[in-house]
Structure 1
Amino acid sequence: MPLRNTGLKRPKLDWKFLQRFYSILKILFPSWSNQNVLMFATLLGVTILVQLVIYQVGLIPSQFYGVLSQKNYGKFQELVSFAILLILINSVLKSVEQYICSLLYVSWRESLTEDLHRDYFWGRVYYTLNVLRKDIDNPDQRISQDAERLCKQLSSMASRLVISPFTISYYTLQCFNNTGWIGLLSIFGYFVIGTVVNKILMGPIVLTLIEQEKLEGDFRFKHMQIRVNAESAAFYRAGKVECMRTNWRLQRLLRTQRSLMNKELWLYIKSQSFFYVSPPFGVNTFDYLGSILSYVVIAIPIFAGVYDGMTPGELSSLVSKNAFVCIYLINCFTQLIDLSTTLSDVAGYTHRIGELREVIIDIGRKQCDCDPALGEAYNFDSDGEFLNSSSGTAFVLQQLSYKCPLSEELLVKELSLKICQDTHLLLVGNTGTGKTSLLRVLNRLWEPSNGSVEMTTFFGPRGILFLPQKPYLTDGTLREQVIYPLKDIYPAAGSVDDERILQYLELAGVSSLIKRTGGLDEKVDWNWYDVLSPGEMQRLCFARLFYLQPKFAVLDEATSALTEEAEGQLYRTCKQLGMTLVSLGHRSSLEKYHDVMLRLCGGGQWELTKLKMEKHNQN
């Protein structure tokens, strides 16, 4: 299954990988005084101690040969005690090493994920990436899962990669002293051959791994879609068709996994998902050949007569010592070869996360160029109070033309309009004429095709707020639903007035939620979308609007699930609180709450009418 055409090079171990990996390292190690640097330095220190202990443990067998050949019982007891002590120390150091790796994994994941979150949630990047851009698959999976797996893989291999040059250098010197050039060149030649073979086998794996992760995200998204829309699907009795479509996504995923397993057949693989495959041909071959090669290397000086003057006991001790040095040097190289599969996983995750970061940064840069004040969503004074807008105008539209980003046909042509305070505007038109699209353009979610849109009042409480067509309820308490999005973004905005919240819940007609939830600050263990009816969700969003009290409220069919009587009560309350309304709706009953009506006629045409007065402008 080919990857989507992203316009980027096919991911592999190349210069692009190094660039992306380096950019990620700068996030994991932002400064020399950062805790990640300190933990990694501690890990290196512990790893060095482990290597020193392993060296001493490796010499123990040769010492046993010497002691036993001499039948020295006292030294034998001392050697046994020393060996047990080394083993205990090695066990403790190994546990500490694993513990520090785990801490590094958690700390790295925190740093990388929060960095992705900062850019992902900046401005409207998350909207553009999920709705308008189609070149990045499953950004949620890349942030939540791929970042986690990358950090786990790095924590498992980082210390080995960094310490390997030192251990290889030391054991290379020891091997040269014991076996000479012939033995050393044999071991290095063995490593070069193993590296080339693994490079050839590893090449196709990176791309397949990336495709597998994409399909994992698609499969998980399908289940999330069912979870979110379970009631709607149940009304359609759509269990069988959804089962078929979900199984289809599963089969695509499994085919790719089988392909990946076939390509990894010749490599040592330990899958990061949910299955384990024992070491197959490639690594088994190098592991077992390495053990045989060590004795071949040792045999060269023995058969050459270098050690003819030694007794059998001394020769056994020497062979044991030299065998350990050669085998451990080969083991150091073998570990690097074994890391090839881990490195291919790291490359795959690095490309996915690096590609995501590049697109996110590019989107953010373009949006910042188009809207320099994008990040200034809410305005507060030095005491944490909302600033009042000095402008009596919300939007100024000049010769505005816009279209759907995925279409070339204009929805509206050359619309000129000024939305002012105390002049309530009603937006009407048939389905597909661009009503909600106009609100997207006003909120800068979409860019206009021609003309200009100027927001002359700041966005937020005491300024302009939008109520979207689909009510959005966050996770949290009832209080957090009403004051959203203030608490988590601006905790210094001032204390929340419980009396006001209760008053606005009453005005919105959802005061019964206080009893159902157990209070404003009681945690609920259910999904708001599953418990509340569509009408209750819309009422709760109006309670939020009453609390935030913007000067201008843009309502996108915000009362479609309510009766005309309830709708009238909510609209009258908005006016009593001083809000100027910009409403989108189909009901004729809305006209009495507005002063001007903008009708979108389709084909780019529009007409502006003063309600209860003659039509005064038509395009």
Structure 2
Amino acid sequence: MIFFYFLYKHVSIRDNAESSILYKCENFEEAECNRLFNILIKKQFFLVLWRLPNNFFKQFFDYYGALLSYALQFIPIIMIGTYDDKSPADLAQIVSNNAFIYIYLVNSFTRLTDLAIDVGEMAGVFQRIADFVHYSDEQAQRGTEVEGLANQSFEEGYGRPPIFVDRTVSPIRLSEGLLFEMKNVSYTLPNDDNYLLMNNLNIRLLKGQNLLVTGPSGAGKSSFLRILMRLWNLKTGMLTYGITSDRILHCPQKAYFPVGKLSLRQQIAFPVHIPNGGNDFRDSGFFERILKDLKLFHLVERCGGFDANVEFDWHETLTPGELQRLAFVRLLYHRPILAILDEATNSVSSDMEKVMYELLLANDISFISAGHRETLKAYHSLELKIDGKTGYSIKELSTNEKL
């Protein structure tokens, strides 16, 4: 099974290559791949040791059975002289009869060794079936409980003062409060330099401002965010940041949660790698409150706590809305100066969207959002509207538009 986990990990990285790049998680993924590889090597080593006796006797009897049937008769005929009184004709008959019996016995031993190997493989199949049945029973019993927990109301409101993560971070000096600035920026598709997506874009975003990127479907909103994250190259112009890249965090529409039986704590801390037994939450109470605010506290019980290694794949078990809310918990854990949100709330309700953006504002996190909902204007001060024809317009959002 560990071999398939190892393969699945690499398939997952390939399928989520863009998200991995945007999260800058190459060190994390390398550590996880090495961890799974070391487990695989260890399992294979013990498997070889377990199979060695069976394979030895199987091969020995297969290739040396006939020779052994005659070698065994060397002792009574030559060394002990049991048949010295027999004539050559009788001795030949005795040797022939004994050889037949010995070969039959060797064949029986060969069947036993083959049976032992088959029984071992069958035991592995039975173990997987038993695990599947046990997991199915657990899910059937847990389904009603989880649904009840997910729908329960939480009493904590948002009148409290801003909550900050108690983590030691190096202060970043903003260049005149600048987050980023684009001057005469034009860009194309990476694989087609003639397909112009944007022409001569000029925009400047300062600390305290939040930008909303709008436009029809296919206009190039996600392309603009890829340019911001420097995933794509500019054709012309200049992109300047007033902050370092490690203080920018991207939150895609389909949040990325790496596979590998990772704990809830590790998924929140991603792409930071927490060693086994490590506790990187200086204030677990903060995360408990955030999980309650986002109606995700049932995940703590479902996962068996913050540090238990789960037996499910996060992106296959959780709903899209739960994944997007958990991605926001990750944002609040890292507390970047700038968060880039690519339709990161389109799978949650408007009420939950309000909760999520208020948490970002309360924690002094600037953000750039791409989306279609009119309700998003309430949390942004600037709107960049992309028309899909290499053009754009920028306007400040008035108080009336935010209401």
Q: Is the 8 A contact 2:274 2:280 kept in 1?
A: no
Aligned to 1:477: 263
Residue 422 of structure 1, aligned match among 194, 208, 214: 208
Residue 173 of structure 2, aligned match among 380, 390, 398: 390
Aligned to 2:248: 464
Residue 513 of structure 1, aligned match among 292, 299, 306: 299
SS at match of 1:451: strand
Shift of 1:435: 0.7
Aligned to 2:196: 410
Question: Per the alignment, do residues 130 and 557 of structure 1 end up closer, same or farther by CA in structure 2, a change over 3 Å counting?
Answer: closer
- Aligned pair count? 242
SS at match of 2:231: coil
TM-score (norm 2): 0.55
Question: Per the alignment, do residues 493 and 554 of structure 1 end up closer, same or farther by CA in structure 2, a change over 3 Å counting?
Answer: farther
Match status 1:578 vs 2:361: no
Shift of 1:517: 0.9
SS at match of 2:245: coil
Separation in structure 1 between the aligned mates of residue 191 and residue 204 of structure 2, nearest angstrom: 28
Supply the RMSD in Å over aligned alpha carbons: 3.3
| Runs of at least 5 residues in structure 2 that lack an aligned partner in the other structure | 1-9, 23-29, 39-166
Q: Kindly report which structure 2 residues correspond to 1:270-281, keeping only aligned pairs within 5 A, or say none.
A: none
Q: Is the 8 A contact 2:185 2:200 kept in 1?
A: yes
Shift of 1:582: 0.8
Match status 1:399 vs 2:184: yes
Aligned to 1:565: 351
Shift of 1:523: 1.1
Q: Is the 8 A contact 1:458 1:464 kept in 2?
A: yes
Aligned to 2:159: none
Aligned to 1:592: 378
Q: Bigger relative contact order, structure 1 or 2, given CA contacts below 8 A and separation 6+?
A: 2
Q: Kindly report which structure 2 residues correspond to 1:27-66, keeping only aligned pairs within 5 A, or say none.
A: none
SS at match of 1:504: helix
Shift of 1:531: 1.1
Aligned AA for 1:398? K
Residue 325 of structure 2, aligned match among 519, 522, 539: 539
Separation in structure 2 between the aligned mates of residue 479 and residue 129 of structure 1, nearest angstrom: 19
Q: Is the 8 A contact 2:253 2:324 kept in 1?
A: no
Separation in structure 1 between the aligned mates of residue 304 and residue 279 of structure 2, nearest angstrom: 26
Shift of 1:519: 0.5
Q: Deviations over 1:453-488 (max 9, x none)?
A: 12221133xx22111121111230001111111235
Separation in structure 2 between the aligned mates of residue 398 and residue 556 of structure 1, nearest angstrom: 22
SS at match of 1:409: strand
Q: Deviations over 1:19-73 (max 9, x none)?
A: xxxxxxxxxxxxxxxxxxxxxxxxxxxxxxxxxxxxxxxxxxxxxxxxxxxxxxx
Residue 434 of structure 1, aligned match among 220, 228, 233: 220
Shift of 1:612: 2.2
Shift of 1:386: 1.5
Q: Is the 8 A contact 1:500 1:547 kept in 2?
A: no
Separation in structure 1 between the aligned mates of residue 232 and residue 293 of structure 2, nearest angstrom: 34
Aligned AA for 2:294? A
Aligned AA for 1:595? S
Question: Per the alignment, do residues 574 and 404 of structure 1 end up closer, same or farther by CA in structure 2, a change over 3 Å counting?
Answer: same
Separation in structure 2 between the aligned mates of residue 492 and residue 570 of structure 1, nearest angstrom: 28
Aligned AA for 2:243? T
Separation in structure 2 between the aligned mates of residue 431 and residue 498 of structure 1, nearest angstrom: 40
Q: Kindly report which structure 2 residues correspond to 1:205-604, keeping only aligned pairs within 5 A, or say none.
A: 385-391=168-174, 392-407=177-192, 408-460=194-246, 463-475=247-259, 476-488=262-274, 496-604=282-390
Shift of 1:385: 2.4
Shift of 1:397: 0.7
Question: Per the alignment, do residues 397 and 479 of structure 1 end up closer, same or farther by CA in structure 2, a change over 3 Å counting?
Answer: same
Higher strand share: 2
Question: Per the alignment, do residues 421 and 585 of structure 1 end up closer, same or farther by CA in structure 2, a change over 3 Å counting?
Answer: same
Question: Per the alignment, do residues 582 and 513 of structure 1 end up closer, same or farther by CA in structure 2, a change over 3 Å counting?
Answer: same
Q: Is the 8 A contact 1:551 1:580 kept in 2?
A: yes
Aligned AA for 2:195? E
Aligned AA for 1:474? P
Q: Is the 8 A contact 1:504 1:547 kept in 2?
A: no
Separation in structure 1 between the aligned mates of residue 19 and residue 314 of structure 2, nearest angstrom: 26
Aligned AA for 1:578? D
Aligned AA for 1:457? I
TM-score (norm 1): 0.36
Q: Is the 8 A contact 2:19 2:252 kept in 1?
A: no
Aligned to 2:127: none
Separation in structure 1 between the aligned mates of residue 19 and residue 316 of structure 2, nearest angstrom: 27
SS at match of 1:581: strand
Q: Is the 8 A contact 1:400 1:448 kept in 2?
A: yes
Shift of 1:493: 10
Aligned AA for 2:254? K
Aligned AA for 1:388? P
SS at match of 2:367: strand
Separation in structure 1 between the aligned mates of residue 234 and residue 335 of structure 2, nearest angstrom: 28
Separation in structure 2 between the aligned mates of residue 546 and residue 556 of structure 1, nearest angstrom: 17
Shift of 1:494: 5.8
Separation in structure 2 between the aligned mates of residue 427 and residue 589 of structure 1, nearest angstrom: 13
Shift of 1:496: 4.2
Shift of 1:503: 2.3
Aligned AA for 1:465? L
| Runs of at least 5 residues in structure 1 that lack an aligned partner in the other structure | 1-116, 132-139, 149-383, 615-619
Separation in structure 1 between the aligned mates of residue 280 and residue 350 of structure 2, nearest angstrom: 36
Q: Deviations over 1:495-543 (max 9, x none)?
A: 6432222222223221110111111011111111221000000010011
